[in-house]
Amino acid sequence: MSKAASRIATLDLTPGDMCNLECEHCYAASSKNGGHGDDRLMTEDEIRTVVQNLAECGVKTIDIAGGEPTLAYDRLLTAIEEFKFQVPDGYVGIVTNSTQLDPERVDELKSAGLDAINLSFEGTTREVNDSVRGEGHFRSACAAASMVKEAGLHLGVSITINAVNRSQANQFVPFANRLDADGLAFQVIEPRGRAPEYWDKLGLEITDGLESLLLVFDRHTTMHLDIPGAYRYREFLNTYFNANIPLVDGQCPGGDRSYVVTSGGDLAPCPLHAYVLDEGTYSVADSSSNLDAITAEYLDFNAEIDSRGRELVPCAGCEYNEECTHCPVNDDVVDECVWVNKKERELRQSILKSSLTQKAPYTAVGGKLQFDVPTQTTHLTVHLTESQFQELLSYDTAEEILAADVLPLDDEEAIEFLCMLRSHGVIEIEKFWEPFTVTPPRLD
C-alpha cells in the first residue's frame, strides 16, 4: 500500500471542464468549450484507475465538480460507482448548476451511490441570481432543490459573495431554510477566470466580502455553514456573533490531506495550484507508482508555504501564526487579519458604549429566564434571575454593567454573553453595527 495511505482524506475530481453556462464570476472561465485552457478528458477506464489508485491512499470523501459535471454524465456515474465500490463507507457529492438535472437523473445518481448534491446560487431572488448566472437559472435551481430532497439526498447550497448579492447576505440562511437545505457554503469572489471582465459590476475586496458575511450571522443559526476566512475571522465570529464555528487549524490541507484531480488526470494540491500556477503535470491515471513521489513533493510544498506565512509581517509576531497558512497562489498580503484585529477593537468599544434594549418576552422559572426567541422553536433558557436581567437593562452602557459586576463573569466572558443574547434576539446592543459599513434590516 502507498505510504500516503491513512493521510489523504479528501479529493476534488473534475470529470470535465466544459459548462453550458458562462457565469460572470466563474474562476474557471468554464464554457461549452471547456475551461482553464485544458480540453483534455479522461476516459471512463482512466477515471476508474484514478479512483482505484487514490482509494489506496485512504480517500474517504470525493467532491465532483467542473465545469458542469453532469455534462460528462457517463464519466460522472463511473466515478461515483467506482468510488463506492472501492470505499463503501465513503462520501461523494457533486457541485452542479442544476440545469441538467431531472427526477430520473437524480434517482440514477443516488442509485450509483451519490450522497449529496450541492447547488450553486448567486442570490435569493430571480433578479439578482439570474443577473450573474443567466436567465432561467433561479427557477431551474429551485426546482432541482425539490428533486434532491424528494430523493432523500443531502442538499447543499453554494453562494459566491459579490458586489451584486452582498446586500442579500442576511437573507441567505432564511433562503436556504426555505429550500430545506442541509448546509450552506460561501466563498468571496476573486479576480480570476472570467471575473476580471465583470469586476466593475461584481468585484469586492476580500474584507468587504467578509464584512458582508457578518450579516449571515446577525441571528444565530444551527445550519451547517462552510465559510472562507482564516482562524482569526472564525474566532471573531464565534466571540461576537455566537457562530459556533469549529476552530480547526487554518493550515493549508493542499498537498497534505487533500488533493484535486483535473479533467486530464493530473494531481495537484488544489484547483488554484493546478490551473493558476500550472507547474507541471503528474498523471495518476497511468499507475499508482508515482503517488508517493508526488505526495512527498507536495508535503515539501505545504511545509514551505507554512514557513513563508510565518515570515510575513505582521504574521511573524502573531499569536495565531501556528493556526494559519498563507495561500501561495494569492499575493503576500494579510489584509484579512489586519481588518479583523481592527474591527474587534472597534466593536468591543462600541459594545462598551452601548445601552441594552430588551427585544424578546420571557417567563421566570425557578431562578432562570425562558425567552421566546426567533432563532429556535423552543425557549432559550438563560441562567439569570429576573432582577439580574432587569438590572442589566437599567444601566446606561455595557461598560457600567461590567464595572458593577452584575454578571459573575470576567469582562471578556461578559461581553461574549451579551453578544450571545443579541444573536438570539433577546436584546439589542445599541451601537453594535457602528464599526461596519453594513447594517442588517430586521427579519424578525
Three-class secondary structure of residue 135 per DSSP = coil
Please give the residue range of the domain that contains residue 28: 10-309
Burial 29-64 (b: 16+ CB within 10 A, else e): bbbeebbbebeebbeeebbbbbbebbbebbbebbbb
Q: Are residues 296 and 369 in the same domain?
A: no
In a domain, 72, yes or no: yes
Domain assignment of residue 410, yes or no: yes
Domain membership flag for residue 338: no
Same domain flag for 120 and 60: yes
Which domain CATH number covers 270? 3.20.20.70
The reply to whether 25 and 143 lie within a common domain is yes
State whether residue 38 is helix, strand or coil.
strand
> Do 195 and 122 fall within a single domain?
yes
Provide the residue type at 117 as one letter: I
Distance CA 283, CA 308 (A): 28
On whether residue 5 sits in a domain, the answer given is no
Task: Mark whether 137 and 215 lie in a shared domain.
Answer: yes
User: From CA 84, how far away is CA 61, in angstroms rounded?
Assistant: 10
pLDDT value, residue 23: 87
Confirm whether 315 is domain-assigned: no
Q: How many domains, in total, are found in the chain?
A: 2
Tell me how far apart the alpha carbons of residues 241 and 317 are, in angstroms, rounded to a whole number.
27
Three-state SS for 360-419 is CCEEEECCEEEECCCCCCCCEEECCCHHHHHHHHHCCCHHHHHHCCCCCCCHHHHHHHHH
* Same domain assignment for residues 188 and 273: yes
Last residue of a domain, one of 309, 339, 367: 309
Give the separation between CA 222 and CA 136, rounded to whole angstroms: 31
Instruction: Please tell me whether residues 162 and 289 are part of one structural domain.
Output: yes
Q: Which of 246, 277, 309 is the last residue of a domain?
A: 309
Eight-state DSSP code of residue 203 = -
Let me know whether 290 and 191 are in one domain: yes
pLDDT at 101: 95
Cell 493530473 identifies what position? 266
Q: Is residue 216 domain-shared with residue 151, that is, in the same domain?
A: yes
Q: Of 254, 285, 309, at which residue does a domain stop?
A: 309
Q: 112 and 172 share a domain?
A: yes
Instruction: Tell me, yes or no, whether 335 lies in a domain.
Output: no
Q: Are residues 132 and 266 in the same domain?
A: yes
The answer to whether position 337 is within a domain reads: no
Secondary structure (3-state) at 216: helix
Q: What is the pLDDT of residue 5?
A: 43
Q: What is the pLDDT along the chain (444 residues), one digit of tens a residue?
A: 444 444 556 778 888 888 888 888 887 776 666 566 567 788 899 899 888 888 887 788 999 988 899 998 999 999 999 999 999 999 999 999 999 999 999 999 999 999 999 999 999 999 999 999 999 999 999 999 999 999 999 999 999 999 999 999 999 999 999 999 999 999 899 888 888 999 999 999 888 999 999 999 999 998 999 887 777 888 999 999 999 888 766 566 676 677 788 888 887 777 777 766 555 455 665 555 556 666 666 666 566 555 555 555 556 667 766 666 666 566 544 678 889 999 999 999 999 999 999 999 999 999 999 999 999 999 999 999 999 999 999 999 999 999 999 999 999 999 999 999 999 999 999 999 999 998 776 655
Of 193, 194, 123, whose CA–CA distance to 162 is shortest?
123
**Cell 448566472 belongs to which residue?**
133
Q: Global pTM?
A: 0.88
Q: Using CA atoms, how far apart are residues 269 and 277, in angstroms rounded to an integer?
A: 11
Same domain flag for 115 and 15: yes
In a domain, 3, yes or no: no
* φ, ψ of residue 330 in degrees (nearest 5): -85, 165
